[in-house]
Structure 1
C-alpha cells in the first residue's frame, strides 16, 4: 500500500513584535542558524512531506532565502516556492493552502 502524500504549510509571515527584537523572530539566529531553519529541519525529520510551503512576507524574501542556506538537503528537498502571506495569520494560512 503506498504511503499517503502529506503537504505542510508553515506560516512564517509574522513580525514577532512581542519579542521586541529588531527583526522577525523566525529569522533570528539560535545555535548558529535562523529559527525557521531549525523548524523546517525538525518537521522534515518528523514526516516525509511531499511538499512544504512556507508563507512569508514579501519584504522578508531576502531573509527567507538566507535562512534556506542553512538547511540540510533533506529539509530542503520538499520545499516549494514560498507563498506570500497576508495581513493576518488567517490570510497567510489561506495563501499557503492556495
Structure 2
C-alpha cells in the first residue's frame, strides 16, 4: 500500500521561551524537524512526506534548508489555528486516496524505525496503530473537589506519535466539527465509533517542548551510537 506521513509542526512553541519556534532549533548540528523527516525517510524512502508548518513560516524553512543543505524531498503545507486543523490540512495534501498515513509530531525526532514500520503494518490490518509506552511512575486521579484517588497504572498507557491510519478512514474521521476532547488523532478516529489498536512505542521518543528537553535531546544524540544506548 502507498504510504504517507504528515509531520505536524504548526505551533509557535511558546513554552520554549525564545524568539525561534522549537521545531527550528538545532540539535546535533541541524534543526529538529530535519532529524524527524530523516527518520521517516530512512524507515522507507517511498513514504510521501508532508510537513505542516505555521502559516507564513515557509520562507524561513526554505532558508534553513538552504543553509543546512537539506534536500530530502517533502511537501510543505500551511497549518491551521489548532492541531486538528493542521492535521486536516496535511491529510488533504496527500496525493492519493488509498493507502496509509502516519501522523507524527514534528518535534519527536527520536522515533525508531521499527515503530514507524510497525505502525504501517498494524494499520494496514486493523485500520489504526497508536504508539504507546508503559507508565513507570505511580499515578493518582484528582477529583473536582481536589481529592485524589489511587489508580492502577497497569491499566494505563502514555500515548505518543506516530499514530497511523488507513487514509480513507482517518480523512472521514476529520470531516466532523472539532471537539475539545480531540487531544490527538486517535480521539478523532475513536469518535467514529472505531476501536484504536495500540503498538509499543519507544521511551526516548520525547516531544521537545522546553529548554530541558533540548538538553536531553543533545544527550540522546551523543549516546545513540554507543553500544546498548538508544538504537537507531
Q: Decide which of 35, 40, 51 is 2:37's aligned counterpart.
A: 40
The count of residues paired between Structure 1 and Structure 2 equals 91
Matched, 1:84 2:70: no
Output the CA distance in 2 between the equivalents of 1:44 and 1:53: 12
Output the CA distance in 1 between the equivalents of 2:62 and 2:70: 14
Aligned-pair Cα RMSD in Å: 1.7
More helix by share: 1
Output the CA distance in 2 between the equivalents of 1:67 and 1:58: 16
Output the CA distance in 1 between the equivalents of 2:2 and 2:65: 23
Q: Residue 15 of structure 1 corresponds to which residue in structure 2?
A: 12
- Counterpart secondary structure, 2:56: helix
Contact 1:36 1:67 in 2 (8 A): no
Contact 1:6 1:49 in 2 (8 A): yes
- The alpha carbon displacement at 1:86 in A equals 0.3
Contact 1:37 1:71 in 2 (8 A): no
Matched, 1:93 2:87: yes
Structure 1: gaps of 5 or more residues: none
- The alpha carbon displacement at 1:63 in A equals 2.1
More strand by share: 2
Tell me: higher relative CO, structure 1 or 2? Use CA pairs within 8 A at least 6 residues apart: 1
TM-score normalized by structure 1?
Answer: 0.80
Structure 2: gaps of 5 or more residues: 93-232
Q: Residue 65 of structure 1 corresponds to which residue in structure 2?
A: 62
- Counterpart secondary structure, 2:42: helix
TM-score normalized by structure 2?
Answer: 0.36
Contact 1:28 1:34 in 2 (8 A): yes
Q: Where has structure 1 moved over 6 Å in runs of 4 or more? A: none
